[in-house]
Structure 1
Amino acid sequence: MSIEVRPVADGDFFAWLDLYEKYAEFYDTELTDQKALVLWSWLTAPSHEEDGLVAVDGDRLVGLAHMREFARPLEGDRGLFIDDLYVVEDSRGKGIGHALIEAARKRAEEEHLGVVQWITAHDNDEAKSVYDSVAERTSWVTYEIDLTKADA
């Protein structure tokens, strides 16, 4: 198996969509056509902050990573945040997640960014075993206010 990691390209839409639908399903999140098209428009717009990588095995997309730069005020620099990272189930354990993370790391180094960060679900043990092998787990706890839900 020879995996190529490259930027998302216009002709990737349907294969990318298949991957992203599986990613959303994994996290039990509804992915509407509208949400998918909005994200695709971001990924393919040169001026948008969200970028995407895909892992390709032959002519098949087997993984994706979506990322964006962010400001780090206390450090006086910028970082790279991986929003989404997914490898199709039948291709896991073959180094594809590592390859996607390494490509993000190389991009961050080329851009002289200070850090690469991402989060995962507390019970995503398979992913955490990969992440623990390439990065240091931090002590930060994530909070969010979901503005899309109506007050109860």
Structure 2
Amino acid sequence: MSYEIRSAGDDDFFGWLPLFEAYCRFYETELDDAKALIVWNWIRDEAEPLQAALAVDDDGRPVGLAHFRPVPHSLTATRGMHLDDLYVDEGVRGSGVGRALIEYVHARAAEIGHGGVSWITADDNTGAQQLYDRLAQRTSWVTYEMDA
């Protein structure tokens, strides 16, 4: 089976939603209707930086998603992309969909300023890290979070 990687469009909400729900479940985060609509509206609003790509199978069913946004890199005076969320349906994992979504985001980064792509993942997400280690360099940076 082949997969098309493309930007999410206005009519993709009901294909995107189950993937985003599964992504939230994976990270043990509750997703209610209000949160889903807020995120979808961010994706569809051109004034917001968040963008989404979908991997779509031959039947037109979305099987993977990537949420990403442009970021300035002040040390290099370039722009790149931050990959916020990546999820591939369990039934198609290992088929190259995750790699294709990351490569799509990488191509968008090249279009805006050659700053590359950065992302984080959970320390225990070893399955995804196998792919990430083949595509990118693991950094020595430590991530911090401050509560609201």
TM above 0.5: yes
Post-superposition offset of 1:113? 3.0
Distance in 1 separating the partners of 2:75 and 2:103: 25
- Displacement of 1:120 in angstroms is 0.4
Structure 2, gaps ≥5 residues long: none
The answer (yes or no) to whether the contact 2:80–2:110 under 8 Å persists in 1 is: no
In structure 2, what is the equivalent of residue 11 of structure 1? 11
TM-score (norm 2): 0.96
Deviations 1:31-90 (A, max 9, x none): 121111011001111221000000001211000000001122222222200000000111
Matching of residue 116 in structure 1 with residue 122 in structure 2: no
| Structure 2: distance between partners of 1:146 and 1:23 | 22
Cα distance between partner residues in 2 of 1:26 and 1:45: 26
Distance of 1:103 and 1:77 partners within structure 2: 19
CA distance in structure 1 between the partners assigned to 2:11 and 2:78 by the alignment = 34
Can you give the 5+ residue segments of structure 1 that lack an aligned partner in the other structure?
148-152
Shift of 1:132: 0.6
CA contact (8 A) 2:80 2:117 kept: yes
Taking only aligned residues, the RMSD between alpha carbons, in angstroms, comes to 0.9
The 4+ residue runs of structure 1 with deviation greater than 6 A are none
User: Which letter does structure 2 place at the counterpart of 1:10?
Assistant: D
Match of 1:44 in 2: 44
Match of 1:11, as an amino acid?
D
CA deviations 1:86-139 (Å, max 9, x no partner) are 001111000000000000111111222312000000000110001111100000
Aligned length: 147
Q: Do structure 1's residue 127 and structure 2's residue 113 form an aligned pair?
A: no
